Structure formats: C-alpha cells, structure tokens
A and B are shown apart, each in its own frame.
Chain A
Amino acid sequence: MAIEVRIPTILRNYTGGQKAVEGSGATLEELFADLDGRYEGLRERLIDDSGVRRFVNVYLNDEDVRFLGGLSAPVSDGDTVTVLPAVAGGAR
C-alpha cells in the first residue's frame, strides 16, 4: 500500500496527465520529496520555504493540512492526499 495523491487539472502536466499518483513517506514533507523524484517540479508548485503555498489547498483525507501541522503532518499507507487550487481573489 502507498499514499494516494490526487492532482488537480492545472498540475497534471507534472504527472504525465495522471489524476492521481502514489508516493510514500512518514510526513507530508517526505511524501512530496518522494514524489519530486518521479514528478520533477511538482513539489515546488505545492510548497515554498514557509510551507504549503497560499495558492493551493492540500488535504489529508478530509482535513486541510494547515490545521494538522502543515508539512510535518504524519501520513501513513492508505491515506489520501488531495491537492486543489485555492479559489480566491478580490478587488484588492
């Protein structure tokens, strides 16, 4: 078993068009590092020096990882990580 990571349309050019990919690691940070080995550039679109980028939402199962400790959130086999582009904007 592995951890399933669901990829939004806008980032599928990093995954060869796949809607979901699999990876491994003990934390979200390790999982993204593992994915970057096979899907180069994906990690950089998801995180920066301060953690999950403000333009994306990352969910572990049903929870926003911002509420779970961000990149240090523990993950394990069978978990599902979902990435969605944040929908935001405004007059300013």
Chain B
Amino acid sequence: MLTISADLRAKILAHARADHPDEACGVIAGRAGSNRPERFIAMLNAERSPTFYRFDSLEQLRVWREMDDRDEEPVVIYHSHTATEAYPSRTDISYASEPGAHYVLVSTRNPEQDEFRSFRILDGEVTEEDVTIAPE
C-alpha cells in the first residue's frame, strides 16, 4: 500500500497537467526504510515526448547523490501517460529497477478526470496496490 499526503498527490497531478501532452516524471524521496514519501522532486523528461520518458542522466546523478547524503531513497517514482490509462506499459516494466519503489502512474488523457494509481514492479511482474491519502 502507498500512503501519501494529499499535497504530494496534488503536486504529481499538477506536474503531469503542466507538461501535457508530453510525459512528466519525477521522484518523491523519503527517509531510507521509512516507506514514507516526503520530498517532491520534479525531474526533466530528457525525451520531451508524449510516449516516452527518461530522467536526464546528469540530473539523476545529482539527485541520487543528494538522496544518499540525506539518507533518503526514492520512495515513489512517478510518470504520466498522456493518451492511455495509468497502467505500466511493457517499456515501463522492462526499465523498472528499483524493487523498493512505488511506481506511481497518472494519466492526463481526460482533462476533467484525474487518474492516479500505484504499482510494485518486481522481476517483470506488476502488482497494483491501494493508495491511501495520509492526514496532514
């Protein structure tokens, strides 16, 4: 189960809407081992594409080092789909390489309706999980 604050959930959705029709991506860091997302980090989509995303490699190095220094880990890794449902594609699954992370997908295909879902992706296997909004 992913437990996330309403504020962080809103930040992910706002980032996805702002970058639409391109896919948006980012990380929410949290204290290592806590399973609690806390620090929102919007990342550049180096691909600037409506169908693909990739963290800019140098930005990723900087952010991962910063998390290391702060004893944090990527608790949530999020990205948006802009024309399809918020469910991991084959490409998403083949790249998924943080076994401890919650992979959050949102979809901006419908301007009126938010789609926000969370998954574990382990050894090519996708498991959807409940999302609970934590009290502030």
Q: Which A residues lie at the B interface, using CB under 8 A? A: 8-10, 55, 57, 59, 62-64, 66, 82, 84-92
A62–B58 alpha-carbon span in the complex (Å): 8
Please determine whether B52 and A85 come into contact, CB atoms closer than 8 angstroms.
no
Residues of chain A within 8 A of B93, CB atoms compared: 89
Chain B interface residue count, Cβ-Cβ cutoff 8 angstroms? 35
Which residues from chain B contact A85 at a C-beta distance below 8 Å? Answer: 95, 97-98
> Known contacts A55-B95, A84-B64, A91-B52; can you find 17 more A-B pairs with CB under 8 A?
A8-B97, A57-B57, A64-B61, A84-B61, A85-B95, A86-B55, A86-B97, A87-B60, A88-B47, A88-B91, A88-B95, A89-B91, A90-B49, A90-B51, A91-B81, A91-B83, A91-B91
- The answer to whether B15 has its CB under 8 Å from any CB of chain A is no
Kindly state the separation between the CA atoms of A57 and B83 in the bound complex, as whole angstroms.
Answer: 28
By secondary structure, the A interface counts as: mixed
7 A-B residue pairs with Cβ-Cβ distance under 8 Å, sorted by A, are A10-B99, A57-B60, A86-B57, A87-B98, A90-B51, A90-B79, A91-B83
